[in-house]
A = this chain, B = another copy of it.
Amino acid sequence: MAQAVNLANKLSLFSEHWKPKIVAGFNGNDIMVVKLKGEFQWHSHAETDDFFLVLKGRLTIRLRDGDVHLGPGELYVVPAGVEHCPVAEEEVHLLLIEPAGTPNTGDPATAVVKTAL
């Protein structure tokens, strides 16, 4: 029987930061939830845009020409090739969408493995 994906329920199943969990698929894209806290690394994705929707908390996406600030119910799409650095002073919960196999750091050598939840 088909069932909706409850994002808060999925987020309650783990506590680690910076490890996206796949909760659904859409045309070859992974729909993921992730918890962030602290500062990531500057990186870019040459081949794909990067979709961020904040579910809880506040996220800053640093760009080379300024910062984007997001609260709950706010989204931002980093265009392909644009360097960015996500920063979460307090824990933030996000919905992410990326083509399956996209390395979260922009580099397969340093990327985390995204697992289904």
Binding site for B on A (CB under 8 A): 1-8, 23-27, 29, 31, 48-49, 51, 53, 55, 63, 65-66, 68-71, 73-77, 80, 95, 97, 99
Contacts and interface: CB of A to CB of B under 8 A. Distances in A.
Contacts of A71: 4
One complex includes copies of this chain to the number of 2
Contacts of A99: 27
9 contacts: A1-B65, A2-B63, A2-B68, A3-B68, A3-B76, A4-B69, A4-B70, A4-B71, A31-B51
Nearest to A56: B73
Contact of A48 (B7, B27, B76, B77): B27
A75 B8 contact: no
Contacts of A3: 68, 76
